[in-house]
Amino acid sequence: MDADFWLERWRDGRTHFHQDHVMPDLPAHWPALELAPGTQVLVPLCGKSLDMLWLAERGHAVLGVELSALAVEQFFAENGLRPTRHASPQGERYRAGNIEIIRGDIFALDAAHFADCAAIYDRAALIALPPAMQQHYVAHVYGQLAATYRGLLITLDYPQAQRAGPPFSLPEASVQALFAPQSSAREIARADILAAEPAFAARGVTCLDSVVYRMQRRAHDVSADTRPGT
C-alpha cells in the first residue's frame, strides 16, 4: 500500500474515514493525560481532522503530517483559517495559529521533527497501515518522540479474515507486540461500534470494537535517556 492509494482516495472523494465532528474519545480521555498548555502534539496521517482544532483550542501546539495537499488545503479552507506556507525538504509546511501541518511523507521526517513532540494523538494512522508496515511506523514515529511523551492511540478490533483493510484490525495482543520495545500501551476504553458502521456489517463483519489506549514511554527507556553521559 503506497502513497498513491491514499492520494487517489482524496482525489476521488472516497474519504469515509473523515469525521465531520470531534471524535468523542478525544475529550473523554485526553484530559486525563494532564498535558500542559503549549505541549506539542503530533497528529500523524492527520487528513483534515477536526480533532486538531480541539487540541489547538486547549492551548497545544499541533503538528499534523499528511500526504494529500487536498486534505491539508481543505482543512484550512473549511475552518476559515488562512495559513502561511513555505517549502521544506520534507514537504510544504502550512501554519495558522498554533496548528502546523507538514504536507509530506511521515517516513521522510527525521528525528528532529519528533523530538519536541511530548504528546501524540493517533486516531487512524497506525490502523491505516498494513501489518507489514506497522512495526516500521511504530519504531520511526513513537520511537523518536520525546522521552516522556504521553498520548492516545485509537484502534479497531474485528475479525480480519472477514474484511480486507484498511482500516486494519489490531487486536490487543498485536498492539502489545508492536509497542513492547519502547512504549507502554494500556487499554482504557473499548466500545462495540458495529451498529454504527453499516459498511462493515455489509461486508460480513460480525463484531467491531473501537479501542482506546493510553500511550507513554516505558520507564526503563526514560531512565536510559536521562542517565549521565547518554
Copy the grid coordinates of residue 3: 502513497
Q: Which residue numbers in the chain have pLDDT < 50?
A: 222-230
| Domains observed in the chain | 3-226 (3.40.50.150)
Q: How many CB atoms lie within 10 A of CB 198?
A: 9
Residue ranges of the annotated binding site for S-adenosyl-L-methionine are: 10, 45, 66, 123
Each residue of 85-95: pLDDT tens digit?
999 888 899 99
pLDDT at residue 210, rounded to an integer: 97
Rounded to two decimals, the pTM is 0.90
Amino acid type, 190: R
Query: What interhelical angle do 69-78 and 3-12 show, nearest 10?
Result: 40
pLDDT at residue 135, rounded to an integer: 96
Residue ranges of the annotated binding site are: 10, 45, 66, 123
Rg of the chain over Cα atoms, rounded to whole angstroms, equals: 17
pLDDT at residue 227, rounded to an integer: 34
pLDDT at residue 90, rounded to an integer: 84
Per-residue b/e over 90-128, b at no fewer than 16 CB within 10 Å?
bbebbbbebbbbbbbebeebeeebbeebbbbbbbbbbbb
Handedness of CA 166, 172, 174, 178 (dihedral sign): positive
